[in-house]
Amino acid sequence: MQRLLKITIVESDPARAALIEESLLRVGQYELNIVDDMTRLNSAIKEINPDIVLIDLDNPSRDALEELTLATAPLERPVALFVDQGDANLTKLAIEAGVSAYVVDGLRADRLKPILDAAVTRFNMFRQMRTELAATKRALEERKVIDRAKGILMKAKGIDEEAAYALLRRAAMDQGRKVGDVAEALVSTAGLLS
Amino acid sequence: MTATIPVGFVPLIDAGPLIVAVEMGFDRAEGITLDLRRANSWSALRDMVSFGQVTAAQMLSPMPVATALGLGGAGAALAAVAVLSTNGEVVCVSAAMAKRLREAGHDFGFDDAHAAGRALIAAADGPLRIAVPFPFSMHAELLYHWLTALGLPAPSGIDIRTVPPPLMAAALAAGEIDACCVGEPWGSMAVERAVGALLLPGSAIWPGMPEKVLGVRADLADSDPEPLRALIRALWHAGQWLNDPRSRVTACEMLSGRDYLDVPTEVIDRALSGHLTISARGDSRVVPKFVDFGHFAPQQAHAAWIGGRLAARLGLDRGTSQAVARATYRTDLHENALQSIPGYTPEPASFERSFDGQNFTPLPPE
């Protein structure tokens, strides 16, 4: 029986960490650790001595991890960004998904592949969620501004809501701008005049 | 049809040439469109170049050399095709260390690497703990050079560690480090937050040292396609424009944008003008040529120096490492690209001396 692979997940958001953990446990049995305190990242990793470290590509603390590739060089378990000679494509997919994996030297690719696959799938979902969240937030903000602009027009010109929106839309079309942009300009100008 | 070139950058003052190339349209003037992608770490940028997410990226000058020596990463070989900036680093000490230095009579003159270094060594309580943004950086090289030249034994007397710049202020405040060496605006931001004081600019340790380069995959550099040449020309124009003092107000405005550095223009102006505020009390110092965007040609002598220093520290063969390092700095390609600019004359390679008088000794050509 092979010993369980030790995987460390570097993630300060507990909800995300839990989701990654869950995806990994679905594909196999691993000894999982989560490091959430970036200030003691390297000491935690030295203590845990994992086979694999998973970290978000966008995490600024990746550069601190890079030091491990140096620090462990004279030791028997060097850590490197995973690139299997036969499967550079897997690394490429991982980077596109926004996950970086540091792997100790000599770990067999067949033991690693399911882990990376699961992580890539999970990180792709994170990315999608982030994009959706940002789009929703933008849409909500825009709607709020348009509502305020409509209110200003209704009060100033004594017109109803529909007429106010029509006015905004016509102005946007005439100026070749988005309704949201015209509304924002109106709201900020009105703020100056009030 | 114009080629769109994705290029990675880290939000720092010395991403200036990339930002200016887009904002001033130097890219479109050369028939290309730059698509700038912001990254949070140097390792992410290196991997994005290696695996083709971006064509080129701002890199710390030792990064192509380190990759060629097999240090860090595992991706493709990299080449430096232009120097984006020289100097621009600051050594920033914690508030506690600043107090000790002041009490010991240091004047924070900000121009004397001997005085500042000796004071720092004398005030050290155990090994000096200094943070740098990346293990393979000019910051690390300058610190080792500066402090060992003044007699501090390495590695026993210096504990240089990697801390991402956004976390440096917290590390200074928590007393985890005595100092950091970092690019602007991070030093000024630490001063703004009253957690540190600036002790010395990198230019006082060794003026003219390349800080950031434009890195691409070596195989792309070998094929030397026209869009890459156009990119090099656009960045050359951007660097010339940035070096003109009349551009400063506009440049500060551009860099401070939300898509770029997202810090107040006033803080950016400090680095670009060289009028730095060094303490939370508002003391200021003037540093001519604090950061420079006009030494655009990659010099193989610099690469060899970096390679030699890394080899010495990590126990690699020095001669081999220097030869490997030289090959990563593509002066030839650079000249090919710039020749077509009307009135362009290649800048003569000039090497300034280190603070301790050490001369830059380029190796004889192979």
Taking CA atoms, B350 is separated from A130, B131, B206, B236, B338, in Å, by: 49, 30, 13, 18, 19
Is A12 near chain B, with CB under 8 Å?
Answer: no
Q: Report domain extents, chain A.
A: 5-132, 135-193
Return the SS3 of B123.
helix
**DSSP per position, B200-234:** EEGGGTSTT-EEEEEEEEHHHHHH--HHHHHHHHH
Is B133 near chain A, with CB under 8 Å?
Answer: yes
Q: Is the pLDDT of residue A54 over 50?
A: yes
CA angle B345, B348, B352 (to 5 degrees): 145
CB atoms within 10 A of CB A10: 26
Give 10-residue mean pLDDT values along chain B (366 residues): 90 97 96 95 91 94 94 82 96 97 96 96 94 96 96 90 91 95 95 96 96 96 92 96 95 94 94 95 94 94 94 90 95 90 83 89 52
Which residue from A64, A82, A92 is facing B163, i.e. has the nearest CB?
A64
Cβ separation of B41 and A59 shorter than 8 Å? yes
> With respect to CATH, is domain A135-193 assigned 1.10.10.10?
yes
Is A176 near chain B, with CB under 8 Å?
Answer: no
Segment B250-265, tens digit of pLDDT:
999 999 998 999 999 9
Which CATH superfamily, name and number, covers B89-208? Answer: Periplasmic binding protein-like II (3.40.190.10)
Phi-psi region of A167 (alpha: psi -120 to 50; beta: other; left: phi over 0): alpha
Query: In the 3-class helix/strand/coil scheme, how is A122-159 assigned residue by residue?
Result: HHHHHHHHHHHHHHHHHHHHHHHHHHHHHHHHHHHHCC
Is A57 near chain B, with CB under 8 Å?
Answer: yes
Local confidence band at A79 (pLDDT 50, 70, 90 cut-offs):
low
- For domain B3-87+209-260+293-338, the CATH architecture is 3-Layer(aba) Sandwich (3.40)
Q: Is the pLDDT of residue A86 over 60?
A: no
CA of B69: which chain A residue's CA is closest? A70
Query: How far is the C-alpha of B143 from the C-alpha of A157, rounded, in Å?
Result: 67
Cβ separation of B75 and A69 shorter than 8 Å? no
- In CATH terms, are B3-87+209-260+293-338 and B89-208 the same topology? yes
Strand B284-286 and strand B275-277: the pairing is antiparallel
Q: Report domain extents, chain B.
A: 3-87+209-260+293-338, 89-208
CA angle B245, B248, B249 (to 5 degrees): 135
Local confidence band at A42 (pLDDT 50, 70, 90 cut-offs):
confident
Neighbouring C-alpha atoms within 13 Å toward the C-beta of A69? 24
Which residue from A63, A82, A96 is facing B162, i.e. has the nearest CB?
A63
Segment B142-195, tens digit of pLDDT:
999 999 999 999 888 999 999 999 889 999 999 999 999 999 999 999 999 999
**Complex prediction ipTM:** 0.83
Q: H helices of A49-108, where?
A: 62-71, 88-97
- Cα maximum dimension of chain A: 81
> Which residues of chain B are within 8 Å of residue A88 when distances are taken between CB atoms?
51
Domain A5-132, CATH? 3.40.190
Segment A155-177, tens digit of pLDDT:
999 999 999 999 999 999 999 99
Return the SS3 of B290.
coil
0.95 exceeded by the pTM?
Answer: no
